[in-house]
Amino acid sequence: MANQFTLPSLGDNVKAGDVLRVLVKAGDVVAVDQAVLELETDKATVEVPSTIAGTVAEVKVKEGDRIDVGQVIFTVSGEASAAPTGAAQVQKAAAAAVDQQDKAEPVPTAPPAPAPTGGARIEVTVPSLGENVKGGDVLKVLVKVGDSVSQDQGILELETDKATVEVPSPSAGTVKEVAVKDGDKVAVGQVVLVLDGAAQTASAPPATVAAVQPTVPELRAERGLPMAPVPGHVSVATRGPAAPLPDGSVAPPRPNVPASPAVRRLARELGLDIADVPGSGPGGRISDADVRAHAKNVITGKVAGPAGQAGAAAAGFASEPLPDFSQFGAVERKPMRGIRRKTAEHMVASWHTIPHVTQCEKVDITALEQLRKQFAKRVEAGGGKLTVTSIITKVIAVAMRKFPQFNASVDLAKEEVVYKSYLNIGIAVDTERGLLVPVLKDVDQKSITQISAEIAQLAEKARAGKLSLEEMSGGCFTITNLGGIGGTHFTPIVNHPEVAIMGMSRSAMEPVWNGESFEPRLMLPLSLSYDHRVIDGADAMRFLRFVAEALEQPFLLAL
């Protein structure tokens, strides 16, 4: 009917969404293209514009409701004037927003400023910085009020979870306002500068639908577990009919959880069911802080983890607040920033998700060391340094072809194991800013000389903070070498979503029995950690022995 506004189509495969905010009320006068609803779909958070004009008679939805395409949102009194092409524009704009997100995530949290004319105000926002990078810490603001900047000039030095990057200006102009300072945390889409200028900026998305928050496609279907009662949690409306259980009983309905796609993604990365997280916001809305607090409670045993009751509580550890350390003496608190914070989060997620097993072996590399010294100068002429790390990298590449379960990832949502045909190996590098893992691509197709040169180049870039996100992505297996510092064995944590990691400790001369007498041999300790969901202990030992034999008998490298 002409006096009813219904939810228009928002794109392919988007059939419903959750109401975050209703922007109109009874008695309001609405115009065509005026935003009337803030809606969260599976792929984006959008503002829904009205396709009719008139005075609102009745609003039929409220915040927290889950509504379907075609459902009546509100009615207007009298005969409404409609925009003939409004619905098509809404569908086209929403589809464009979703397509943009599916192709390059995360998207900015606010649309970029439209192309200005002479003397226009230009708001410069933090651009998309790569996959899964939502923001960073401001190391240095490179401009000040009154400075003239050119297009692509560096305006901000930013430390993200993965690298240090220089943010360029998208436009030329004069700095009118600086909205951040050194040490601030900023998010993708946040305004950092205001320019007064006439240069062209990136075109804005359609005004009818604005992507408000960074979102990602669903990585895995959420587990259909009933919501556990949590003290302080605000109940919300439920969605869909209750599904029958195998024993014939009816499970409680799946809760309609008020959380943004970015927050849902964080919960999935930490192995949590978003429905189990208590929300502290209006209407029980869940924030990043709520998810992190719940993850901490799971780890410390305060609440049960997503894998039944087998969380940290099963280990018998009680959750206790930290004492006031200042009563014992002077203390200093420093925020976990950038790489250190991301490493902490990633390690917790990996340890929480992957059932780790570590197996150790000592390898006789006496003959290998002689060959390494013999051919070191030849490799140096090729631009690299022949090390045991570069040699074992090549050996592991061969081993991964022989044992394909080591070049895989586990997809629990689909109950599948993903086997990869490409072979990339990450090399952990110790830097002043924390641990970085540059990735060597297509290792199986490169010679030891090429591998040696590439490791040297990537390690130098890592220590200088110049690694790109591309150079740290796509790893299939990780090698970490602590031999330069010391130690015998350790238990490296698997770099999720990989399924194995090889740790190298310091080699040392040891007496080895040869059947008749002891003789000095150079022994290298190896520690292999792996994901027991996809790799069995026997297969791990076979893999480790294959690597050991290839290092002990260098002639095998030629085979």
Give the type of residue at 40.
Answer: E
Cβ neighbours for 511, distance < 8 A, ≥ 6 positions apart:
518, 519, 520, 521
Q: Strands 154-159 and 66-68, how do they pair?
A: unpaired
Give the type of residue at 496.
Answer: H
**Tokens linked to 160:** 């993200």
For residue 33, give the DSSP letter. T
Q: Which residues pair with 410 in a beta bridge?
A: 417
12, 37 contact by CB (below 8 A)? no
E-assigned strands of 253-373? Answer: 356-364
For residue 204, give the DSSP letter. P
Q: What are the two backbone dihedrals, phi and then psi, of residue 558, each rounded to the nearest 5 degrees?
A: -75, -20
**Strand, helix or coil for residue 163:** coil
In angstroms, the CA 403 to CA 401 distance is 6
In angstroms, the CA 48 to CA 40 distance is 10
Tell me if the bond preceding 438 is cis, omega within 30° of 0: no
Nearest Cα residue to 406 out of 546, 269, 539: 539
Does residue 532 carry a catalytic annotation? yes
**Tokens linked to 112:** 């970029």
Q: What are the two backbone dihedrals, phi and then psi, of residue 241, each rounded to the nearest 5 degrees?
A: -75, 155
**Tokens linked to 347:** 């390690």
In angstroms, the CA 181 to CA 140 distance is 7
Tell me if the bond preceding 106 is cis, omega within 30° of 0: yes
Q: How many CA atoms lie within 13 A of 278 on its CB side?
A: 14
**Tokens linked to 110:** 């606010």
In angstroms, the CA 218 to CA 414 distance is 12
Report the length, in residues, of the chain.
559
Active-site annotation holder among 346, 356, 489, 532? 532
Q: How many CA atoms lie within 13 A of 206 on its CB side?
A: 22
In angstroms, the CA 429 to CA 11 distance is 44
In angstroms, the CA 98 to CA 532 distance is 37
DSSP run (H or E) holding 555: helix 555-558
Tell me if the bond preceding 335 is cis, omega within 30° of 0: no
Write out the catalytic residue numbers: 532
